[in-house]
Amino acid sequence: MTKEGHIKYWRESAQHDLESAESLFESKKFDWSLFLGHLVLEKTIKAIYVEKNDSNMPPKIHNLVRLAELSQIELDDKQKFMLDKITDFNIQTRYPDYKFGFYKKCTEEFTDEYFNKIKELYQWLNSLLK
């Protein structure tokens, strides 16, 4: 696959996940909506990584701040804080020790607030791609 093909894969996969996250939100599966929101940002950042680096294969990590750094994305403190917070959604949904507590935290209001921030970051990250 070409570099452009890799970038297209990550972007299309992120868009698909965003649509799925929106469906989960509407179905009131708030914890999984935020989990997929994390993947949306991760995949978009991985598209940027491929665009800016020689390698077509981004690192196999899930930490959004670290991925952004490796992708040469300049973040302000607010963006770093938000990406760090959203990275937690990946961990808290995946692992049983954290899962139930996270599920209880994911009220509609909590999820709506963070899901809107995820969508804002997604738009901004997409604007960084050529």
Q: Where are the domains of the chain?
A: 3-127
CA distance 28 to 18: 15
The rounded distance, in Å, linking the Cα atoms of 88 and 26 is: 22
How many residues make up the chain in this entry? 130
For domain 3-127, the question of CATH label 1.20.120.330 is answered with yes
Q: What is the DSSP letter of 128?
A: T
Cβ contacts of residue 52 below 8 Å, gap of 6+? Answer: 71, 72
Task: List pLDDT tens digits, range 36-95.
Answer: 999 999 999 999 999 999 999 999 999 999 999 999 999 999 999 999 999 988 875 565
Q: Output the average pLDDT for the chain.
A: 93
Which of 3-17, 72-86, 96-110 has the least mean pLDDT?
Answer: 96-110
- pTM to 2 decimal places: 0.93
